[in-house]
A and B are shown apart, each in its own frame.
Chain A
Amino acid sequence: MTAVQVTLKLFATLQDYLPLEAKKTNALALELEAGTTVQQVIERFGLPQKLCHLVLIDGAFIPPAARATRALQAGETLAIWPPIAGG
């Protein structure tokens, strides 16, 4: 199976799920099997579903219904936030 290189970014309280060194940048380089979906990455890192509120791939919003089918492509960045707001 071909592997793809992607970047996982976890922010706010979700950064606790990153390895210590990756917390400094909120980013972790990942090598995934081709076809790995957003949902599979969420599960691999043990991220609580209810905290995966804002999910972006290369800055574009991924609706909850698409997470189980949206496979990550080589070079993409998956970024996830818990419920947050500002202004």
Chain B
Amino acid sequence: MAWTRKILRVDLNNGTCKSEPLNMEWAQQYLGQRGLATKYFISEVDPKVDPLSPDNKLIMTTGPLTGTPASTGGRYSVITKGALTGAIACSNSGGYFGAELKFAGWDMIIFEGKSAKPVYLAIENDKAELKDAAHLWGKTVWQTEEIIKKSHQDPQTRVCSIGRAGENGVMYACIVNDLHRAAGRSGVGTVMGSKNLKAVAVRGTQGVSIMKDAKAFMSAATAAKKVLAENAVTGQGLPTYGTQVLMNVINEMGALPTRNHRDSQFEDARKISAEAMIEKRPSDGKSHLVTNAACFGCTIACGRISRIDETHFSVVNKPEYWGASGGLEYEAAWALGAANGVGDLEALQYANLICNEDGFDPISFGATVGAAMELYELGILTEKIIGMEAPFGSAKALCDLAQMTARGEGFGKELGLGSARLCEKYGKPELSMGVKKQEFPAYDSRGIQGMGLAYATSNRGACHLRGYTVASEVLGIPVKTDPLVTEGKADLVKAFQDATAVFDSAGVCIFTTFAWTLADLQPQLAAACEGDWTMEKLAAMGERIWNMERQFNNAAGFTAKDDDLPPRLKTEPVKTGPAKGLVSGIDKMLPEYYQARGWDANGVPSKETLKRLGL
């Protein structure tokens, strides 16, 4: 059994921590992590709940392979009703926190209620208690982690926490663990902040040793690692260049959203690419990139550790930022860069450091800055309102606004609303580039048609990690499809969404899917987990999880009207590149998708579909 079979339930109203058994019947239907924790969540929480009320719950959850020798087996997820979106939120993070939680003997933690005062949860194996966090409130993520480790006198304690963004109600606040890994999207950190929960510190020494068939598991895990090592993408491409290598690819394809999606190619894309990260800087003769890095158990090691130019205007008098730290990854580099027209790599690194330090999502933040810059260029936002000039391309504005958002100062408070609420406030809701109030990631739906459908139907709002058809439409994984056409995309999106739900429920990283299929994951699960884990069972489970999330959103008040893209992407054709003249074909793809899913014209799963999936 790769499950520990134990849940920690933390009542923040009363300050109590209780152990309860894991529902093993549900584990057979939903496996773990995303699937199983979502099952718990929707069984316990009213879909209409205000995300920031004490009645919302927040679950930190591992998968059955978390903490095991399976490659990338260090993942954990946070499930709640998203502050940014009002939809089901599931934010996944790597680093070492998830594995440590498992080592301490817990499959998941369910937080309910709200503490009357700031607290943090301290876990040491079976022992769990809420501790006063008055001295931590107002501290950054980095300070919080350092203070907790010192006070526990154990540098191997793993910490996840919110920064000032989560305390100040930034709607897209993250929960950051291990300094620069984050459960990043949908405002899960905002929910944590609303509960006066500052951090979770965990130390576990029990390991994960109880497998259904340990020998078979080690054999399967070793074989699967070999697949990753021998695959050119996971064995060489990702560790060498990281995700940021996509910058030039997507730009050449004319699908790099630029200046709030006004354009689809960025003239400075190369300056913020993986290739630029390894060039020596004229100022100090050092490259931006210091090394790659891996999360727990990962044999890919795509992470980037970089060092900012000490002479850059953003940090010239701030030596605290001169050390090597996390980033840049593709999504952050795009959102902080192309999305608002900034081609200054050091400025992007600074803004990314601030996002990590104070815990907010660089995708939503960068895209919101892009929307604000468009409002500024239209004369709707002024220098007086923002407190500075903020045209597209201003690296200075980007850096200053990141700091202001982190601290909840001035116009930073308004940026903390996210682009949907900001644009609504200033009378231009159509300028928010997102779905279900969550900002798009780094692919233009007009140039990669399948991603438009994936965004529109993502259960957590616009997201690339719920159905990454870029793998097929751009990279040819598992097969190459034409990014410019809508034909076949409904089935493609559904297949990616369902398979992703399985990987997200297992405890491994979705990046394994650049080399693995379900056929590589299945033997590991079958050997680790009790029960009969066939390919058919896993495939059905992925679809079941997707429909379960959909049912929650429908009950929360979302309808087919919310499965839509901003008018810009449906009416303003791409100006340059191979997608020139195209708009998104979302209106054609969506009915096909509903049909493929077995949903009615309103996006509601039919009775037959629910029955088939056991829902």
Show the binding face of A for B, using Cβ within 8 Å.
9, 11-13, 15, 24-26, 50, 53-54, 56, 58-61, 63, 77, 79, 81-87
Interface residues of B in 229-274 (CB under 8 A from A): 231-234, 236-238, 240-246, 248-249, 252-254, 270, 274
Q: Which residue, of A50, A81, A85, has the highest number of chain B Cβ atoms within 10 A?
A: A85
The reply to whether A25 and B270 form a contact with Cβ atoms under 8 Å apart is yes
How distant is the Cα of A85 from the Cα of B475 in the complex, in angstroms? Answer: 7
- Set B249, B279, B480: member contacting A84, Cβ < 8 A: B249
Size band of the B side of the interface? Answer: 35 or more
Is B237 in contact with A63, judged by CB distance below 8 angstroms? Answer: no
Whether A83 contacts B252 by the Cβ 8 Å rule is: no
With A59-B578, A83-B233, A85-B475 known as contacts, the answer to whether A13 contacts B240 (CB < 8 A) is: yes
In the complex, the answer to whether A81 meets B249 with C-beta atoms within 8 Å is yes
- Shortest A46–chain B CB gap in Å is 18
Q: Are A59 and B254 in contact (CB under 8 A)?
A: yes
A13 to B235, CA, bound (A): 14
Contact among B475, B510, B514 with A54 in the assembled complex (CB-CB below 8 Å): B475
Docked complex Cα distance between A6 and B274 (Å): 24
A58 to B242, CA, bound (A): 24
Interface of B toward A, CB cutoff 8 Å? 231-234, 236-238, 240-246, 248-249, 252-254, 270, 274-275, 279, 330-331, 464-465, 468, 470-471, 474-477, 480, 482, 510-511, 514, 577-579
CB-nearest residue of chain A to B578: A59
CB distance from A39 to the nearest CB of B (A): 18
| A12 and B253 within 8 A (CB) | no
Q: Are A9 and B252 in contact (CB under 8 A)?
A: yes
A11→B275 CA distance, assembly (Å): 7
Q: What separation, in Å, do the CA atoms of A59 and B480 have in the docked complex?
A: 15
Q: Given contacts A9-B252, A54-B476, A59-B577, is CB(A82)–CB(B244) below 8 Å?
A: no
Interface residue from B240, B254, B330 paired with A87 (Cβ < 8 Å): B330
Known: A11-B245, A81-B248. 17 other contacts (CB 8 A): A9-B252, A12-B237, A12-B275, A13-B236, A25-B270, A54-B474, A63-B480, A81-B245, A82-B236, A84-B237, A84-B241, A85-B237, A85-B243, A86-B245, A86-B246, A87-B246, A87-B470
Q: CB < 8 Å: which of A12, A24, A50, A58 contacts B245?
A: A12
Instruction: List B contacts of A50 (CB < 8 A).
Output: 232
- Chain A residue with Cβ nearest B242: A86
Cα distance, A41 to B545, chains bound together (Å)? 48
6 nearest A-B residue pairs (beta carbon): A86-B243, A83-B232, A86-B246, A59-B578, A84-B237, A86-B330
Are A85 and B252 also in contact (CB < 8 A) when A11-B245, A11-B275, A13-B240 are? no
Determine whether the beta carbon of B476 is less than 8 Å from that of A87.
no
- For B238, B245, B465, the residue with the greatest tally of chain A CB atoms inside 10 Å of its CB is B245
Q: Does B238 contact A84, Cβ atoms closer than 8 Å?
A: yes
Across-interface contacts of B477 in A (CB, < 8 A): 85
If A56-B253, A79-B252 touch, whether A12 touches B240 (CB-CB below 8 Å) is yes
* B471: chain A residues within 8 A (beta carbon): 85
Q: How far is the CB of A76 from chain B (nearest CB, A)?
A: 12
Q: How far is the CA of A51 from the CA of B231 in the complex (A)?
A: 12
Complex contacts, A77 vs chain B, CB 8 Å = 252
Residues of B contacting A13 with CB < 8 Å? 236, 240-241
Most chain A CB atoms below 10 A, which of B232, B244, B330, B480: B232
